[in-house]
Chain A
C-alpha cells in the first residue's frame, strides 16, 4: 500500500487492511517511523522512540496474524504510549529529570492488554512533568508543538500523545487524565480523547499523580477507534485496588448512529464570560446538529462550577505530594552526587530532579496536609467534592449526557502560559469536575476557530455510561464530520 494512503487510515481501518493482506504490521511501523524521522525534530511528540524494538515486534506480530493466532481489530497497529505508563525494558521518564534513566521491570496493565491484542508499541510520548501542566511545556525534554500550528502548544498533560495522533506519527495513543489531561490536548490537537469512569482501566503501572483522580484512556483519530481501544484496555485487575468489575465494556456495540430521544443538558454556567465566543459558537452548533438528529437539548444550572478548580488543586496537590515522596534517589532514577548524609541527599536529589511546576504542587500539597491546615484545606476540599458529585447526580437524574466545551479557548501560543500558574489552572474549569466526580468524558473535534485551530466538544456521562457518550459522539461525527486529515 502507498505510504500516504496507509498513514491516512484510522487504527481500525489499518487493522483490517493488515488482516486482509493489503499491508503488513511491518509496513505500517516503517511508515510511522519514517513520519517520526521526518517531522518529530520539529514537533517533539516522543521522548523515546524504540525503533529497533518496534520493527522487531511488528515482524513477530505479523507472523502471528498470518498464522491466524491474532485476530483482534488492532492486531499489528502501531501505538504510542504516554511516558508515565511503565513499559518493561523501555525507558519511562514521566518527562522528568528524576526518572531520566528509569527502565521499568514490568509493564502497565493497560499496555499489556494492548500488546495481548497485537498492538505494537512505537515509543513513549512527551508530557508535562509528572502530568502536572496543561501545555506539555513543563517537560524536562522540551515542549511538544501542536501539529495543527507549531507556534501553539498541543495542550497537556498528554500533549505528546495527542500531537502524535494528529501528526500521524502513530495510529492511536494512550494518555492519562487527572484533571483533563486527555480531553484538553485532544481538543487542542483536533483528535478524539476519552477519560473513562474511574476504575474502568487498571492504573497498575501508571506512575501516580493524583491517585483518586487518575485514569488511563485513548487518544484516537475518530470515535470508532476510541471505542475499540477502550474495549481492549478496560479490565478488572486485582493489582489496582480501585479497579471495578464491569460486564458492560463491549463499547464498540455503541457505535450506532442514533440519538433520537436522548436528553442532553447544556450547563448555562459553562457559557459565561470566560469562554471564547468562537468556542462557544462551535459547541452550541454541535448541540444543534444533535438536536436535528432527534436529541432533546435543554439548558440548566449545574452549579458549583467555579468551586471545582480550588477543590481540584487542593486534592491533586495533596495526593501528588504524597505520591512523589517515593522519588528520593535511593531505589531508582537520578541521585545527586557528593552529598554526605541521607537527608541531605534526599533534599538535594529532589531539588535538582524535579522542575518548578512539580515543586510548586509538592509544596502546596505538603502545606494543605500539614498539621493545623489539614481540616481547613484538605478536608474542606473533600467536602466540596462530595457536593460537586451531588450536583452531577442531580443533573444525570434528568439527562443522558451533559454537553459543553472542553476548554475555554483554543490552543495558546507557546511560552504564553507558564508565567502565571493560576491563570493556567483556570483553563481546566470544564474538565476538572469530571475527575472529581469519577465520571466518563469524551472530547470530539467540532470545528476550528478563525486561526484554524481545532475546537473540542465535551460530552460528560454518568458513571458507567461510556456507551451513551460513544453513541452520541459517533452520531455527531457521522454528520458533523471528523477532523481526520493528514498534515
Chain B
C-alpha cells in the first residue's frame, strides 16, 4: 500500500477526532484509512494547476442580518436534552483542578 498509516498517525488523528479506538478498531482504522487514501490518490492523475478550489458550487455571498432574537428564550427546552444540568446551565466534568 502506498499510504502506510502508522500507529502514531492513528493516535494523532484519534486525539484530534476525540475518539478512543481499541486494539481491533485501531488495526481496522489503519487498514481502512490506508486503502481509502490509496484510492483518493487517484485524484493526483488530474492536473489541477490553475483550478481554483470550490467549496460551494454557487457563488454564495455572506448574508448579513441584525442580531435580533426572534424565537424567544428556549433555554428551558434546550436544557431538557442535557445529560446533566444545574441552575439553567449545562454541567460538564471538571476541566481544571
Contacts and interface: CB of A to CB of B under 8 A. Distances in A.
A112 interface: no
Contacts of A103: 80-81
A252 B36 CA distance: 42
B57 A380 contact: no
Contact of B83 (A329, A347, A359): A329
Contacts of A350: 17-19
A102 B81 contact: yes
Given A366-B16, A385-B54, A387-B46, A242 B60 contact: yes
B19 A463 contact: no
Contacts of B18: 325, 328, 343, 346-347, 350
Interface string A425-443: 0000000000011100000
A381 interface: yes
Contact of A333 (B17, B53, B81): B81
A307 B43 contact: yes
Contacts of B20: 347-348, 351
Interface stretch (A144-152, A287-295, A310-318): A310-318
Contacts of B28: 356
Contacts of B33: 363-364, 367
Contact of A340 (B14, B42, B58, B94): B94
A373 B65 CA distance: 36
B44 A380 contact: yes
A360 B25 CA distance: 10
Nearest to B77: A105
A347 B72 CA distance: 33
Interface string A304-331: 1011011101100000010001001111
A370 interface: yes
A241 interface: yes
A212 B56 contact: yes
Contacts of A254: none
A370 B44 CA distance: 19
Q: How large is the interface on A (under 10, 10 to 19, 20 to 34, 35 or more residues)?
A: 35 or more
A386 B53 contact: yes
B34 to A, nearest CB: 11
A311 B81 contact: no
A68 interface: no
A438 B84 contact: no
A342 B13 contact: no
B1 to A, nearest CB: 12
Contact of B58 (A238, A244, A348): A244
Given A244-B58, A389-B57, A383 B90 contact: no
A377 B92 CA distance: 35
B11 to A, nearest CB: 11
Consensus secondary structure, chain A interface: helix
A342 B53 contact: no
Given A313-B40, A377-B40, A422-B36, A382 B82 contact: no
A363 B13 contact: yes
Interface string B48-59: 100111111110
A160 interface: no
Nearest to A243: B63
A321 B19 CA distance: 11
A335 interface: yes
Contacts of B9: 367
Given A340-B93, A342-B95, A333 B83 contact: yes
A396 interface: no
Nearest to B45: A307
A106 B70 CA distance: 13
A421 B58 contact: no
Contacts of B94: 340-342
A345 B92 contact: yes
Nearest to A197: B58
A330 B13 contact: no
B65 to A, nearest CB: 7
A347 B16 CA distance: 10
Nearest to B57: A438
Nearest to A304: B46
B82 A359 contact: no
A359 B30 CA distance: 12
Contacts of A343: 18
B42 A306 contact: yes
Contacts of A362: 17, 19
Contact of B42 (A102, A199, A307, A333): A307
A379 interface: yes
Given A106-B71, A313-B39, A389-B57, 9 more contacts: A199-B58, A310-B39, A331-B78, A331-B90, A335-B83, A341-B94, A384-B46, A387-B46, A438-B57
Closest 5 pairs between A and B when the two form their complex, measured CB to CB: A382-B53, A105-B77, A335-B83, A332-B81, A438-B57
23 contacts: A102-B81, A105-B77, A307-B45, A310-B41, A334-B83, A340-B93, A343-B18, A345-B92, A345-B93, A347-B18, A347-B19, A356-B25, A362-B19, A370-B16, A377-B40, A380-B48, A383-B52, A387-B51, A389-B54, A421-B36, A422-B36, A438-B56, A438-B57
